[in-house]
Amino acid sequence: MKKIPTRAMAVMLVAGFGALSLGFATFGSLPPEAGLHNFDLGSSNHMHRVNQNISDIPWSLNPPTSSKLQAAKPDAILTPDSAYTPDPGNNDDYHCFLLDPKLTRDTFVTATNVKPDQTSIVHHVILFKIGPENASEARAKNQASGGKGWTCFGGSDVGDIRTTANSWLAAWAPGASSQTMPEGVGSLLTKGSLIVMQVHYNLTTGVKPDQTSAELTYAPEGTNLTPTQTILGYAPVEIPCPDGLKTPQCDRQTVLNENVQKYGQRVAFIPLGLLYVCKKKLEDYPKSVGDASEIKTSCEREVKKASTLYAVAAHMHLRGQDIKLELNPGTGRAKTLLHIPKWDFHWQGNYWFKTPLEIVPGDVLRLSCTYDNSLAGQPVLNGVQASPRYITWAEGTTDEMCLSILTAAPKK
């Protein structure tokens, strides 16, 4: 394999982190024995819909002060021109739709509401901001398909790395409702911007035409808000099969080759890039894992820019068991921002800090994940239990990820 320069490797990694397979969801159930820690219920109907989060920072399911700028009706309802029928040849179909909010001024978005059409197949939705400098490219891609959008793994597939890195507007997964920003902050859309709506269709239940839409609420003209960004944290995913199991699907290279066929060449560089940015080697991950019921990974990253944190969320897939995000671990300033010891894929919501948290350069964030790839721990899909296989970071629901999501406002 041709050696890739380290800088180029990091570039390809960032380019692959546009969409991922995540959602800000409120869907699923809380185990009856799970407790609540530093938790403001807000509304009793959330009691059985929340992953337990053991955090040192008091949190709520709702922003600390819902924006007074919220309007009774959305300012924009954005819908693709026609319904899209996912490709039945792909179990996971990622499709991008071009939406035009027709902005004549710079505008702050204070609330979003994604409305899936076919909830049985819509796995997640991400809204990407496309600035006016990339609008012509987005329109050209859409015109090439006759206005039907385009296939897009790892982001909007518009612009360059910088376009992908800071372009998230909102995200959704099954069960989510509208998301309102805290008072004083919003997501900035510049004049002439477009929105690319990426929809991940998981087709294990069949194929149906879908016409998912998005609603946006704007701050009044002249309102000065602090712009927010999404900060992603990640760790390598290297999950072997149980000891003694020898099948083609337990071979790492075989799985990587299959992922390239399914998701494109760019996905091949993500496992290697994750090891690089986390200062790890493949040899750091054991090949002998016993029954594979407790496979761990982690990554530490130093904070480079002072920011205010408003919310935290996490993301793994079906074999995830435990996920934790720590600030300054092993020091006198250590805090657990998020710890979900009994991960439920079907609830991936935002935890809003009751009091926003400040981070400064030199702080360290550590993300840790634990997986169960044992024979007994395999997910059941359409009534059939899956078989163990080697698992790396990839897009599909039956692949895996280790991801933290912070809603933040970087300091100027």
Residue ranges per domain, the chain? 6-22+28-62+230-410, 76-223
Please state, for a pLDDT cut of 70, what percent of the chain lies above it: 82
SS3 content of the chain, % helix, strand, coil (to 5): 15, 35, 50
Lowest pLDDT segment from 111-120, 161-170, 217-226, 328-337: 161-170
Mean pLDDT over 374-392 rounds to 91
Q: Which residues pair with 370 in a beta bridge?
A: 296, 322
pLDDT beyond 50 at 79 = yes
Q: Are 153 and 266 in contact (CB under 8 A)?
A: yes
Instruction: Provide CATH code, domain 76-223.
Output: 2.60.120.310
What is the band of 17 on the pLDDT scale with cuts at 50, 70, 90?
very low
pLDDT beyond 90 at 400 = yes
Range from 162-171, 281-290, 349-358, 375-384 that averages highest in pLDDT: 281-290
pLDDT beyond 50 at 237 = yes
Mean pLDDT over 202-216 rounds to 93
Question: Please, what is the average pLDDT of the chain?
Answer: 83
Q: List the one residue out of 130, 127, 222 whose CA is nearest residue 171.
A: 127
pLDDT beyond 80 at 397 = no
Residue that is written with structure tokens 């690089």 in the block: 276
Mean pLDDT over 320-332 rounds to 97
At 114-170, the pLDDT tens digits run: 999 998 899 889 899 999 999 999 999 999 999 999 998 767 889 865 566 568 888
In the three-class reduction of DSSP (H, G, I as helix; E, B as strand; rest coil), residue 364 is classed as strand
Lowest pLDDT segment from 32-36, 65-69, 222-226, 286-290: 32-36
What is the band of 46 on the pLDDT scale with cuts at 50, 70, 90?
very low
**pLDDT at 69 (0 to 100):** 53
Q: Which residues pair with 98 in a beta bridge?
A: 196
Which is higher by pLDDT, 365 or 351?
365
**pLDDT at 65 (0 to 100):** 64
Mean pLDDT over 255-271 rounds to 88
Residue that is written with structure tokens 């612009």 in the block: 159
Mean pLDDT over 280-292 rounds to 97
Burial class (CB in 10 A: 0-12, 13-18, 19+), 407: buried
Give the separation between CA 25 and CA 245, rounded to whole angstroms.
35
Give the separation between CA 365 and CA 334, rounded to whole angstroms.
10
pLDDT beyond 90 at 378 = yes
**pLDDT at 165 (0 to 100):** 57
Q: Read off the tokens for 348.
A: 């991936």
pLDDT beyond 50 at 107 = yes
Model pTM above 0.75: yes
Which is higher by pLDDT, 307 or 182?
307
